[in-house]
Amino acid sequence: MLFKVFAKDELPKLFDLLAANPVIAPVQKGVDQHGVPLFDFDVVHDFADLRLDYTSTIHSAKRYFLPYAETLATFTVDKGGWEKQVDLNIDRRQVLFGLHACDINALNKLDKVLVQSAYPNPFYAAKRRNMFIIGLQCTPRPQCFCRSMGTDFALHGFDMFLTDLGDSYFAEILSAAAFQFMARIVTREPGHDDHERYKAVVAEKNGRFQAKVDSSDLTKILDMEFESPAWKAWGDKCLSCGTCANVCPTCYCYGVEENVDLDLTGAVKTRRLHSCNLIDFAVVAGGHNFRPHSHARLKYRYYHKHRGFVEAFEEALCVGCGRCGEACLAGITVPAVIASVREGG
């Protein structure tokens, strides 16, 4: 990894260089009921619209890699068969500007399933390959527990990672493309003072974490507590709305549906992201539902993320971003659920 330092007024120049491609970045989307700014990722054309001081976004950046609905194939009677749908933007470079470490780690986890597995998703893989990612050091919110999940820093999965040192940025450069962009703005080699300032910023960030999840030996605890009353207690509160999976940067489950035109001349095959908390997630042919109760579905979600995925990849499928808990109208949060399961209900 290469390190560089550059003055803050070089950042708009870097943005303008990158803006030859579509740039996706955090922007403000109004305020909540308490007047606190809300942020989300969106396509940005002007550096002035960027909110690099954002805390978290309502949705993760997942939708730029895994759209909620994606046409896979179309069928027409004229052509006599299914025709694969090719996303014309799939090979075009895009830029994701200002992704926090938790969200970069979420993509690294998705890669394990959608790129590095026996059944890769070529749509996701192409978008991932062509996304130039600039990471950004975050300021944790009270809901963030990424430090408990080991995802508060990113070692890979980005091109460049920036830390705000006050009057300058400390840049970690990981890819050749990032190196080439950096060669076009004014940078300097970091010195001892820069290293000390970087360490001070990270130490200050680490001191801000409030939420925690005790993830030590959690897989064993989950094996022991499969019948814990905590699952029913939390599950009975669940509204089965699926919002948690919608905002989660690591949820990737989907269903494939085929819709036939009313005049029977064509059809469309669509992949649609699903949520294991939705009532029909485990319905099979014949109408049988393997998980008819909300507590069974909620339990399944936790066992996938904190038990099954750990068994397969030695890491949890949760980066501790806190989005699900914040969005849940029933007040269900990962730290609270895991704590009560640990306590045996």
Q: Which stretch binds ligand SF4 (CB under 6 A): 11-19, 30-38, 61-69, 239-247?
A: 239-247
- Which residue bears the tokens 């708009």? 12
Q: How far is the CB of 138 from ligand SF4 (least distance, A)?
A: 13
Residue 310, C-beta contacts closer than 8 angstroms, at least 6 positions apart: 218, 219, 316
* Interaction of residue 238 with ligand SF4, rule CB under 6 A: yes
* Interaction of residue 321 with ligand SF4, rule CB under 6 A: yes
179 phi and psi, to 5 degrees? -60, -40
Do the Cβ atoms of 215 and 149 come closer than 8 Å? Answer: yes
Residue with smaller CB distance to ligand SF4, 58 or 268: 58
* Interaction of residue 334 with ligand SF4, rule CB under 6 A: yes
Q: Which stretch binds ligand SF4 (CB under 6 A): 19-27, 127-135, 204-212, 329-337?
A: 329-337
Residue with smaller CB distance to ligand SF4, 13 or 237: 237
Residue 297, C-beta contacts closer than 8 angstroms, at least 6 positions apart: 235, 238, 240, 276, 277, 278, 279, 281, 282, 291
Q: How far is the CB of 248 from ligand SF4 (least distance, A)?
A: 3
* Interaction of residue 277 with ligand SF4, rule CB under 6 A: yes
First CA to last CA distance, the chain: 46
* Interaction of residue 323 with ligand SF4, rule CB under 6 A: yes
**Which residues ranging from 1 to 60 are in contact with ligand SF4 (CB under 6 A)?**
none
Residue with smaller CB distance to ligand SF4, 5 or 317: 317
- DSSP E strands: which ranges in 62-143? 69-76, 81-84, 94-99, 131-136
* Amino acid at residue number 310: V
Residue with smaller CB distance to ligand SF4, 165 or 211: 211
* Interaction of residue 140 with ligand SF4, rule CB under 6 A: no
Q: Nearest 5°: CA angle at 247, between 174 and 152? A: 40
Q: Diameter of the chain by CA atoms? A: 72
Q: Which of 227, 327, 322, 321 is nearest to 277 (CA)?
A: 327
What is the C-alpha radius of gyration for the chain, rounded to an integer number of angstroms? 22
Q: Which stretch binds ligand SF4 (CB under 6 A): 27-35, 92-100, 184-192, 324-332?
A: 324-332
Residue with smaller CB distance to ligand SF4, 163 or 294: 294
Residue 86, C-beta contacts closer than 8 angstroms, at least 6 positions apart: none
Residue with smaller CB distance to ligand SF4, 174 or 251: 251
Q: Which of 163, 168, 228, 250 binds ligand SF4 (CB under 6 A)?
A: 250
Q: Which of 312, 256, 335, 254 is nearest to 109 (CA)?
A: 312
Q: How far is the CB of 215 from ligand SF4 (least distance, A)?
A: 11
* Interaction of residue 248 with ligand SF4, rule CB under 6 A: yes
C-alpha distances (whole Å) from 231 to each of 93, 212, 222, 280 are: 44, 20, 11, 19
Q: Which of 318, 338, 341, 342 binds ligand SF4 (CB under 6 A)?
A: 318
Q: How far is the CB of 27 from ligand SF4 (least distance, A)?
A: 20
Q: How far is the CB of 37 from ligand SF4 (least distance, A)?
A: 20
Alpha-carbon gap, residue 342 to 345, rounded angstroms: 7
Q: Which of 185, 249, 304, 342 binds ligand SF4 (CB under 6 A)?
A: 249
Q: Which of 148, 163, 187, 243 binds ligand SF4 (CB under 6 A)?
A: 243
Query: Which spans of this chain sit near ligand SF4 (rule: CB under 6 A)?
Result: 238-244, 247-250, 277, 305, 318-324, 327-330, 332, 334
